[in-house]
Amino acid sequence: MSGHSTYQPQNGFMKWLERRLPIAGLIHSSFVAYPTPRNLNYWWTFGGILSFMLGVQIVTGIVLAMHYTPEATMAFNSVETIMRDVNYGWLLRYLHSNGASMFFIAVYIHMFRGMYYGSYKEPREVLWILGVILYLLMMATGFLGYTLPWGQMSYWGATVITNFFSAFPVIGDPLVTFLWGGYAVGNPTLNRFFSLHYLLPFVIAGVVVLHVWALHVVGQNNPTGIEPKSEKDTVPFTPYATVKDSFLMAVFCIVFAWFVFYVPNYLGHADNYIPANPAVTPQHIVPEWYYLPFYAILRAIPNKLLGVCALFGSIGILAFLPWLDTSRVRSGRYRPLFKQFFWLFVACCLGLGWLGAKPPEGVYVIAARILTLYYFGYFIVVLPLLGIFEKTKPLPHSISESVLAGDVPLGASAPPPRHG
Amino acid sequence: MKQMLLVFSAVLALAASSAFAQQEHEHETPQPPRLKWSFAGPFGKYDQAQLQRGFKVYKEVCSNCHSLNMVSFRNLADAGGPGFSMAQAEAVAAEYKVKDGPNDQGEMFERPGRLADHFPPPFPNDQAARSANGGALPPDMSVLAKARTYERGFPWFLFDIFTQYQEQGPDYIVAILKGYAEKPKDMVMPAGMNFNTFFPGHAIGMPAPLSDNQVQFDDGTPGTIDQAGKDAAAFLTWAAEPHLVARKRLGLQVMIFLIVLSGLLYFTKKKVWHDVHAHPELLGGQATKEPKLTRS
């Protein structure tokens, strides 16, 4: 995917294969010889972690689907059968349910990293937009999956979220009936949600291929935000990035395992252990934690249609980020003011997340409105204006200059002659 | 600009603090007291004697109204559970009448329970259960200990990740069992409802189920409300999470493996990157090929 391949087939069979299907060469140029900036920090390991989590979710999901029954009267019990009677079923299910959360933790870190270091800027706009599409697909998959255990939160969460579409004039109600396959969330809804929940991860995998392809065309951004200028600025993907990614992936797995083995129900909702009951509405209907900021935005706006528009807008606006940020400097490292607004934005998202879990009343609504204002203000006002008014710090001339300045005392000795 | 940020943060802090103040106001239902459980924490295990006592409470008290649909008699003899022998579990099963059929004549019939049977429900259907309980439906108890919780509030809910506090369910169940009290004079109680300090809204359909010495434990433990309530909650936790012991045991092994793996990968990474870090002026890609030639 990056330039011509330097791959040399080692044995007869590989030579034979390479002349017919240069797949080994493709893998070699993409994941072995591929040059990565030498100054990438650990925030850059989350792309690899995300691919790993997608794999975990697909593998555990396929096995779970062998034991799960997508039928309204049997779904809840079939999940409990998995938990009780299927060999290591409890492990599969806790891996899958907590895996979804880990997937989102990783994607949020990955996105905030991109936003801090300006990874969406020219020439990485398409790469970024593919990422936004991946994020949307993940949200859809997560939502569909949460419906499957058919507990109270599954049922009522599905009811509330599909009802968003009823806000649209004229087409709203027929659209919701179409989505439900009936006049309320019921067995047809569960069936199609299961089908789509099985489908979308493979769509995600396909878009991931595009995402990685686009990445390998434009190359990775790096903490300085300046492009590698010479071979001095990069190291080959293998072993450097491979071993670094593997290390952080193992650390990430420790966190993952902590949740799976010690607090497996922490990220879930107790009400989802009550079988779905259309006649009883839970006191507070709360979506999963990773939707909470958007849920808070929805409820901050008193008009339903406008609320739904704000909800979709809050995600959709991400796609326009490359053009909303007018700064010529990519990395937040050299943007003192941006840095402060950025961290406020992170705090704002966390605050919205907390408010999303609170009942929409009194001071919570006021706080959610202030934060919603900042959320959109960050994209529509702060970023466009900062690019014009901010006085940025001087950029280093190259990645290796920045590394040299930071890592070793300068002038200790003259650079030795280069070999090769 | 800086001032603007300061003002903005101040507004945020204000909003947050008033949110907390309001939240405290809302807490009319007290939080259940946090109890010590043998199955809490990374090395937690069920206490077999406690589960056996809890099973007795379930059998003699709870099961009059509450079903336990997802638990089989054979589970009583499963590893990590109450530790009954297969013969004991079989004897327990045989005490129950289970509906089976149809037989060769096309008729349903009753037979003694077998290991493979699930605990039979006390009522044939939800309507019968409601009608016998003044309109309230006693919930199935199979996953009750995971289906009940209480709000921990900020910042405690964050600490719970690290302290591994997952026992909100049993704590809540014990609080409910012990929480019956005289209703305040000014409270209007709907007919047939009972006052419970810890139940949200305080009006609970279930009358106080336990009284002191109602259950006589075989191991000589006094059958106080306190003891019976705690044992019943422990039994329900096992019923809801029968593989907890296996999960935590495997968890420890996985943790040790991952920590060792992370350590090895860390040092591998350090070794691989050593030349790039030690000699950043060198061409990254070339640094490892001829590491010895770097300084002379």
> What ipTM was predicted for this assembly?
0.91
> Which residue in chain B is spatially nearest to A84 when comparing CA positions?
B242
Q: For residue A175, is pLDDT > 60?
A: yes
Torsion of CA B254, B256, B257, B258, to 10 degrees: 80
Average of per-residue pLDDT across B108-119: 96
Cβ of B258 and A257 within 8 Å? yes
Asked if residue B258 lies in contact with residue A254, where contact means CB atoms within 8 angstroms, the answer is: yes
How far away is chain B from the Cα of A244, in angstroms, using its nearest Cα?
Answer: 6
Cβ of A407 and B277 within 8 Å? yes
Class of the domain covering A288-395: mainly alpha
Type of residue found at A381:
V
Interface test with B, best of A84, A248, A289 (most B CBs within 10 A): A84
> Which residue in chain A is spatially nearest to B280 when comparing CA positions?
A404
Give the one of B143, B251, B280 whose C-beta lies nearest to A273's C-beta.
B143
Mean of per-residue pLDDT scores for chain A:
93
Q: What does A348-403 look like in DSSP terms, one character per residue?
A: HHHHHHHHHTS-S-THHHHHHHHHHHHHHHIIIIIHHHHHHH--PPPPPSSHHHHH
Q: What is the pLDDT of residues A224-254, one digit of tens each?
A: 999 999 888 999 999 999 999 999 999 999 9
Q: For residue A333, is pLDDT > 50?
A: yes
Q: Which two tokens stand for residue A185?
A: 């969330």
Cβ of B280 and A407 within 8 Å? yes
Cβ of B261 and A250 within 8 Å? yes
Asked if residue B134 lies in contact with residue B158, where contact means CB atoms within 8 angstroms, the answer is: no
User: What count of Cα atoms within 13 Å lies in the side-chain half-sphere of residue A216?
Assistant: 21
Cβ of A351 and B12 within 8 Å? yes
Asked if residue A156 lies in contact with residue A288, where contact means CB atoms within 8 angstroms, the answer is: no
Q: Rounded to an integer, what distance in angstroms lies between the CA atom of residue A196 and that of residue A199?
A: 5
Q: For residue A405, is pLDDT > 80?
A: no
Q: Which residues of A touch B11 (CB under 8 A)?
A: 370
Per-domain boundaries in chain A:
31-286, 288-395
> Which residue in chain A is spatially nearest to B239 when comparing CA positions?
A84
Give the one of A244, A358, A404 whose C-beta lies nearest to B281's C-beta.
A404
Long-range contacts of B223-226 (CB under 8 A, 24+ apart): B225/B177, B225/B178, B226/B178
Average of per-residue pLDDT across A371-396: 96
Interface test with B, best of A261, A267, A283, A408 (most B CBs within 10 A): A261
DSSP A412: S
Average of per-residue pLDDT across B261-267: 98
Cβ of B149 and A270 within 8 Å? yes
Q: What is the architecture of the domain spanning B27-71+118-242?
A: Orthogonal Bundle (1.10)
In our burial notation (b when 16+ CB lie closer than 10 A, e otherwise), range B96-116 reads bebeeeeeeeeeeeeeebebe
* CATH 3.40.50.880 correct for A31-286: no
Hunting for tokens 């590989």 — which residue is that?
Answer: A14
pLDDT at residue number B192:
87
Lowest mean pLDDT among A392-396, B55-59, B188-192: B188-192
Cβ of A84 and B243 within 8 Å? yes
Q: Rounded to an integer, what distance in angstroms lies between the CA atom of residue A216 and that of residue A227?
A: 14
How far away is chain A from the Cα of B151, in angstroms, using its nearest Cα?
Answer: 11
Average of per-residue pLDDT across B47-65: 97
Type of residue found at A129:
I
Interface test with B, best of A346, A363, A418 (most B CBs within 10 A): A363
Cβ of B265 and A270 within 8 Å? no
Cβ of A247 and B296 within 8 Å? no
Q: Which residues of B touch A265 (CB under 8 A)?
A: 146, 166
Q: What does A29-81 look like in DSSP terms, one character per residue?
A: HHHTS-EEETT--GGGGHHHHHHHHHHHHHHHHHHHHHH---STTTHHHHHHH
Cβ of A266 and B166 within 8 Å? yes
B66: which residues sit within 8 A by CB, 6+ positions away?
B58, B122, B138, B139, B140, B141, B144
Hunting for tokens 């903005």 — which residue is that?
Answer: B8
Long-range contacts of A81-86 (CB under 8 A, 24+ apart): A81/B70, A83/B243, A84/B70, A84/B75, A84/B242, A84/B243
Q: Which residues of A touch B81 (CB under 8 A)?
A: none
Interface test with B, best of A87, A235, A365, A401 (most B CBs within 10 A): A235
Provide the pairing of β-strand A234-236 with B97-100.
Answer: unpaired
Q: Rounded to an integer, what distance in angstroms lies between the CA atom of residue A302 and that of residue A310?
A: 11
Q: Rounded to an integer, what distance in angstroms lies between the CA atom of residue A29 and that of residue A18?
A: 13
Q: For residue A223, is pLDDT > 60?
A: yes
Q: How many CB pairs under 8 A join A and B?
A: 171
pLDDT at residue number B12:
54
Confidence of residue A329 (pLDDT cuts 50, 70, 90): very high
Cβ of A418 and B286 within 8 Å? yes
A237: which residues sit within 8 A by CB, 6+ positions away?
A30, A31, A32, A33, A34, A35, A36
The proportion of chain B whose per-residue pLDDT surpasses 70, expressed as a percent, equals: 85
| pTM for the full predicted model | 0.91
> End-to-end alpha-carbon separation of chain A, Å?
25
> What are the start-end ranges of the E strands in A191-283?
234-236
How far away is chain A from the Cα of B247, in angstroms, using its nearest Cα?
Answer: 6
Average of per-residue pLDDT across B225-252: 97
Give the one of B149, B259, B286 whose C-beta lies nearest to A420's C-beta.
B286
Q: Rounded to an integer, what distance in angstroms lies between the CA atom of residue A15 and that of residue B234?
A: 65
A62: which residues sit within 8 A by CB, 6+ positions away?
none
Hunting for tokens 């003699």 — which residue is that?
Answer: B60
Confidence of residue B276 (pLDDT cuts 50, 70, 90): confident
Q: For residue A399, is pLDDT > 60?
A: yes
Cβ of B284 and A413 within 8 Å? no
Q: Rounded to an integer, what distance in angstroms lies between the CA atom of residue B122 and that of residue B124?
A: 7
Q: Which two tokens stand for residue A127?
A: 């790469």
Q: For residue B111, is pLDDT > 90?
A: yes
Burial status of residue A204 (CB atoms within 10 A of its CB: 0-12, 13-18, 19 or more)? buried
Q: Rounded to an integer, what distance in angstroms lies between the CA atom of residue A357 and that of residue B78?
A: 38
